[in-house]
Amino acid sequence: MRIENVQRTQGQASQKGFTNLCTFTLVLDEGIKLYGVKLIETPDGNHLAYPPDTASGGKAWWLPNEMRDAVVALALKAKDEALLSRFAKLVSL
């Protein structure tokens, strides 16, 4: 399992205090990808991996708690690495 295509979002908090930090592609295995997964920061500082909505408005996936926690840890690391990479490119200009 790995994270690809981390895209930073505006980071605006919802009325309830949830903040979308970034979206990413979750690669479960070669050929099995989930696009548009969101990394959300909760009002108490925890993080959630939130699936994209389907065309009918439902959730696109369900994962056991242990797997969701692993996805959050991977996404946080990938987000930080993407930010450092962008910063390094700016510094080298």
pLDDT in tens, 2-13: 999 999 887 778
Percent of the chain topping pLDDT 90: 46
The pLDDT value recorded for residue 44 is: 95
Question: Which CATH number characterizes residue 79's domain?
Answer: 3.30.1120
Query: What is the model's pTM?
Result: 0.79
Number of domains in the chain: 1
Q: Is 10 exposed, middle or buried (0-12, 13-18, 19+ CB in 10 A)?
A: exposed
Task: Print the domain residue range for 13.
Answer: 2-91
What's the Cα-to-Cα distance from 36 to each of 32, 54, 93, rounded to whole Å? 14, 11, 31
> Which pLDDT tens digit goes with each residue over 30-51?
889 999 999 999 999 999 998 8
